[in-house]
Chains A and B, each alone.
Chain A
Amino acid sequence: MAVPMAHQPKPTLSIGKRFTDNGLLGVLAILIIGLLGYFLVPNNLALLTQIVAIALLVLSIDLVTGYCGVATLGHAALFGAGAYAAGIAAAHFGVTEPLTMTLIGLVGGALAGLVSGLVILRAHGLAQLVLSIAVIHLFHEAANKASGWTGGSDGLSAIMPDPIFGMFEFDLWGRTAYVYALLLLAVVFVALRLLVRSPFGMLARGVREDPIRIAAMGASAHSVVLRMYVISGAVAGIGGALSAISTQVVGLDSLSFTLSAEALVMLVLGGVGSLYGALIGTVVFMLFEDTLSAANPFHWLTIVGALLIAVVLFAPKGLYGTGLAVAGRLKRRPS
């Protein structure tokens, strides 16, 4: 949850409190559920790895939309930039060490975040949304035209990452990729937990609620959101790099409007403004998509649409937010 739990006036926090406050509980949950997935669906680890990559994109949208209140339908630009940065480094420059590729993806995403943030934050509301759509189309078109670098519509292939630490090869079953993905997600999650609870995280929430009040405190709302955009780009870029490393191709779909919109839908489904919501939304949406599209290839999108309408109408805070509210009500009732 975005809002820190009740603070003690005393600065010394108990170990138990530190444990929950720093999101260690969340990391444990991520690792346990992740490992459960490893053993439950050993033949579909590629899907699980892709879920983690998209989860990083959804977390990244949450940072700007959920925490700062920026409306965007162009966030895949940051994810795609990370994917292409890592992919181009590997395919054209022979940088095939996975950690370095991830780092390059992070930087590529952060730069894309800076550029799109500078454009999108010029406007507010509807105009901002339109600008974000323009940005994703421009990124998409640029990648399409620069086919010498990106492979254009054929996609960028020939990405052959080295074994991690020279020891763990990326195997055919995707085990190494999945474990790497889980560890990346855990690290990013802890970092973001610290970020959203930090003074900067509070400022960001303030910007979302009332930028004029933030200015009246002497802070610049624009600079807060722009910084958040760069961080968000870094997170999405890691997701993109992970996708490039695990699938060994980068396609134009990683820079598409469709992916941007789907990721936003996942966030709304899970619950805007909370890291847990972003994770839950991604997992539920992508598992749903996978199961339904196999079970009913003709109508699965209709069912996804109906599910989304149901969530927006009956659980506007998303699955996580509504779950919390229900849990809170149940807790209060007996006392």
Chain B
Amino acid sequence: MTNLLDVQSLRKNFGGLAVTNNVSMAMAPGDRVALIGPNGAGKTTFINLVTGNLQPDEGRVLLVGEDVTERKSAERVRRGLVRSFQVTRLFYDMTPEEHVALAVLQREGTAGQMFGHYARRMAVMEEVGEILDQLGLTELRTLKVREIAYGQQRLLEIAMAMALKPKVLLLDEPAAGVPQSETNRIERALDSLSPELAVLMIDHDMDLVFRFATRVIVLAAGTIIFDGLPKDVTQDQRVREAYLGSYANAGTAA
């Protein structure tokens, strides 16, 4: 089976600092991977390299077998690589309903249509209703995003990602800023994702990570120091050292 995502020897330097240092990993359909690591380990940079928000100095990114390293981020999205952002990026003057509808229309290829209104499209509205319902946003659907709480904005980020029906989903700290009472909504939404989908999640909430992931990757100083089962990660000597700090200064570029 072809891997959905295949990252080969990615390297990125900022000045003299190697923030991503020869990172390779692959994801198959159904993978639920957690990417963890101490602050400054290069997790978000790695996501940005994979999505095309940053260009790598070396290495390749393959999406369903196709080399997309030179492709813009929007083109990667159209090929099924979707991300959420660590700090919400939403349209503050629009409603949750409009956000999700726009994502659905974009996926369908009708977002450029210059007439008509999405609210008159039965199928679109049904799908929007289902997704909003799943994330508990139904009651807020017609409020402006600036009027809703930050935790709910996080949920809306996930709703938009789901509406794009990705093949590979990258979630950058989906639960950051979400009250504990709401994180189970995120978990349920993640559980409901298609089993064909590969998901990579960055998060600091270890409870969430261990409930969600079937595989854990630990990044420290731009390098993968662990890639294996969740039950083994806490026993790993290198991981322990990384979290205790002795790795934090070890990986500067040559």
Binding between chains A and B: yes
**Which residues of A sit under 8 angstroms from B50, Cβ to Cβ?**
none
Question: Contact at A202–B94, with CB atoms within 8 Å?
Answer: yes
Range of interface residues on chain B? Answer: 35 or more
CB interface residues, B 94-114, toward A, < 8 Å: 94-95, 97-98, 101-103, 105-107, 110-114
Q: Considering only CB atoms, which chain B residue lies closest to A217 in the complex?
A: B106
A8 to B129, CA, bound (A): 11
State how many angstroms separate the Cβ of B78 from the closest Cβ of chain A.
4
A174 to B114, CA, bound (A): 35
State how many angstroms separate the Cβ of A45 from the closest Cβ of chain B.
33
State how many angstroms separate the Cβ of A106 from the closest Cβ of chain B.
16
* Residue in B102, B115, B164 whose CB lies within 8 Å of A195: B115
Q: Check A250 for interface membership: any CB of B closer than 8 A.
A: no
State how many angstroms separate the Cβ of B179 from the closest Cβ of chain A.
23
**Which residues of B sit under 8 angstroms from A225, Cβ to Cβ?**
none
Given contacts A198-B116, A217-B164, contact A206 B91 (CB under 8 A): yes
A13 to B121, CA, bound (A): 11
* Residue in B90, B113, B129, B164 whose CB lies within 8 Å of A218: B164
Q: Check A3 for interface membership: any CB of B closer than 8 A.
A: yes
Q: Check A194 for interface membership: any CB of B closer than 8 A.
A: yes
Q: Check A200 for interface membership: any CB of B closer than 8 A.
A: yes
Question: Contact at B110–A199, with CB atoms within 8 Å?
Answer: yes
Q: Check A122 for interface membership: any CB of B closer than 8 A.
A: no
CB interface residues, A 158-198, toward B, < 8 Å: 194-195, 197-198
Among the stretches B27-35, B69-77, B189-197, the one at the interface with A is B69-77
Q: Check A7 for interface membership: any CB of B closer than 8 A.
A: yes
Most chain A CB atoms below 10 A, which of B72, B85, B114, B121: B114
Q: Check A123 for interface membership: any CB of B closer than 8 A.
A: no
A12 to B78, CA, bound (A): 31
A200 to B142, CA, bound (A): 19
State how many angstroms separate the Cβ of A324 from the closest Cβ of chain B.
13
**Which residues of A sit under 8 angstroms from B117, Cβ to Cβ?**
4, 7, 21, 197-198
Q: Considering only CB atoms, which chain B residue lies closest to A201 in the complex?
A: B114
Q: Considering only CB atoms, which chain A residue lies closest to B160 in the complex?
A: A217
Question: Contact at A202–B102, with CB atoms within 8 Å?
Answer: yes
Q: Considering only CB atoms, which chain A residue lies closest to B117 in the complex?
A: A197
Q: Check A253 for interface membership: any CB of B closer than 8 A.
A: no
Q: Check A290 for interface membership: any CB of B closer than 8 A.
A: no
A4 to B144, CA, bound (A): 11
Q: Check A212 for interface membership: any CB of B closer than 8 A.
A: yes
Q: Check A219 for interface membership: any CB of B closer than 8 A.
A: yes
Question: Contact at B119–A213, with CB atoms within 8 Å?
Answer: no
**Which residues of A sit under 8 angstroms from B141, Cβ to Cβ?**
9
Interface 1/0 per residue, B195-224 and A, CB below 8 Å: 000000000000000000000000000000
Given contacts A200-B114, A202-B98, A218-B78, contact A11 B121 (CB under 8 A): yes
**Minimum-distance CB pairs A-B, first 4:** A218-B77, A7-B119, A213-B89, A209-B91
The chain B residues found within 8 Å of chain A, CB to CB, are 51, 53, 72-75, 77-78, 82-83, 85, 89-95, 97-98, 101-103, 105-107, 110-122, 125, 129, 141-142, 144, 160, 164
16 sample A-B contacts, Cβ–Cβ < 8 Å, listed by A number: A3-B144, A7-B95, A7-B117, A9-B129, A12-B120, A194-B115, A200-B111, A200-B114, A203-B106, A205-B93, A209-B93, A210-B91, A215-B77, A218-B75, A219-B106, A224-B112
